[in-house]
Amino acid sequence: ARPRVGYFYSGKSPRALIAEELRKLRVKDVKAVPVVVREGTSVYDAVVTMFLEDVGTLIVVNEEGFLEGVISRKDLLKVTLGQTDIHKVPVSVMMTRMPNIITTFPEETVYMAAKKLIEHEVDALPVVRTLVDSEGKEKLEVVGRITKTHITRLFVELGEAE
Amino acid sequence: ARPRVGYFYSGKSPRALIAEELRKLRVKDVKAVPVVVREGTSVYDAVVTMFLEDVGTLIVVNEEGFLEGVISRKDLLKVTLGQTDIHKVPVSVMMTRMPNIITTFPEETVYMAAKKLIEHEVDALPVVRTLVDSEGKEKLEVVGRITKTHITRLFVELGEAE
């Protein structure tokens, strides 16, 4: 019997096909706007921003708007538990700094970004574009963020029947 | 020309095939052990447990071990910010209680669990089994937890070439 007209994936298992399709998705297709604060922002104001914007991770930028740090709900919870005066201490004291920040970029696959989230045990990645200044120094412009929530939402979308 | 030997999905697009495959995955295949505390646990001890166990959500059980509440890093951050004496106040004061807890069960699809995570804007779901006591009252036995981290890890596994 002749097969009916349809898609034909020669020699590929369903799982191999899924892997291939998933690897076509790019960070730029799912990223969200970054929620940023300045280095001098107090811990208290950072927590308030986190609640107002309803995000789990804040991206810290310097005065030129370039990536300086990342601070998570977990980092802030640790601080609020201690004796620190959260109205006075700035986020720069406990934020994760370069070169320890795990980043992604618009053209990277969502698969690779998800892999970074898992391997480095973080909830969010800043999406950056690398610029080189007149002195040849690299600067990271923050153009978005991608989180486990975005990956979960994508998983749901992929599970929707067409 | 005759198609070569291989998988043939009549009339199905790659995306429809992915949806079909994703919907075969069950919560019981990916769930992790639940991290639980008792209702009387202080906010302070809950935060410490959260750090020691490295989880973002704690499941609160009563003395019989049945589901009573859920408390997130976000809930705890809100409390530590206030004037509350976190050594004295128990988690039961600010936890989410039944019937407001969003749960899943071992046989549910991961797709449905992920959908609940997104729609109800929570980071984790307790995986429960429903028991009925001698008075006909339903009780929820906590058998696991599933989080956005698990969904993200699954996404990475699906993206691995075979």
What pLDDT, on a 0 to 100 scale, did the predictor assign at position A11? 62
How close does chain B come to A147, measured CA to CA in Å?
A: 9
One-letter identity of residue A109: T
Share of chain A above pLDDT 70, in %: 91
Cross-chain Cβ contact B151/A149 below 8 Å = no
Q: What average pLDDT does this structure show over B80-85?
A: 81
Kindly report, residue by residue over B6-36, the tens digit of the pLDDT.
555 556 677 788 888 888 999 999 989 999 9
- Residue B124 belongs to a domain: yes
Would you call B139 helix, strand, or coil by DSSP? Answer: strand
Q: Number of structural domains, chain B?
A: 1
Q: What is the CATH number of the domain that holds B91?
A: 3.10.580.10
In B, which residues are within 8 Å of A84 by CB distance?
none
pLDDT at B46 over 60: yes
- Residue A14 belongs to a domain: no
DSSP assignment letter at B104 = B
Kindly report, residue by residue over A48-66, the tens digit of the pLDDT.
999 999 999 999 999 888 9
Cross-chain Cβ contact B12/A6 below 8 Å = yes
Locate A30 and state its tokens. Answer: 């799912």
Kindly report, residue by residue over A1-25, the tens digit of the pLDDT.
555 555 555 566 778 888 888 889 9
* Least CB–CB distance from B7: residue in A12, A20, A153: A12
Distance CA B131, CA B123 (A): 25
pLDDT band at A119 (very low <50, low <70, confident <90, very high): very high
- Residue B114 belongs to a domain: yes
Beta-carbon-side half-sphere exposure of residue A74 (alpha carbons within 13 Å)? 16
How close does chain B come to A100, measured CA to CA in Å?
A: 20
What pLDDT, on a 0 to 100 scale, did the predictor assign at position B14? 74
Distance CA A37, CA A115 (A): 26
In B, which residues are within 8 Å of A73 by CB distance?
56, 73-74, 77
- Residue A112 belongs to a domain: yes
HEC string of chain A?
Answer: CCCCCCEEECCCCHHHHHHHHHCCCEHHHHCECCCEEECCCEHHHHHHHHHHHCCCEEEEECCCCEEEEEEEHHHHHHHHHCCCCCCCCEHHHCCEECCCCCCECCCCEHHHHHHHHHHCCCCEEEEEEEEECCCCCEEEEEEEEEEHHHHHHHHHHHHCCC
Chain B interface, best mutation among A4, A5, A7, by max B CB count within 10 A: A7
Helices B110-119 and B148-159 pack at an angle, to 10 degrees, of 130
Q: A78: left (phi > 0), else alpha (psi -120 to 50), else beta? A: alpha
- Residue A19 belongs to a domain: no
Name the CA dihedral angle for A102, A108, A112, A117, rounded to a multiple of 10 degrees: 30
| Residue A115, number of CB atoms within 10 A of its CB | 18
Distance CA B108, CA A108 (A): 32
* Least CB–CB distance from B160: residue in A19, A50, A56: A19
- Residue B17 belongs to a domain: no
pLDDT band at B134 (very low <50, low <70, confident <90, very high): confident
Nearest CA in chain B to A113: B156
DSSP assignment letter at B93 = G
pLDDT at B127 over 80: yes
| Residue A96, number of CB atoms within 10 A of its CB | 15
- Residue B8 belongs to a domain: no
What pLDDT, on a 0 to 100 scale, did the predictor assign at position B82? 79
- Residue A9 belongs to a domain: no
Domain containing B59 equals 27-159
The answer for residues whose C-beta is within 8 angstroms of residue B157's C-beta and 6 or more apart is none
Nearest CA in chain B to A153: B118
**Partners of residue B4 on adjacent β-strands:** none
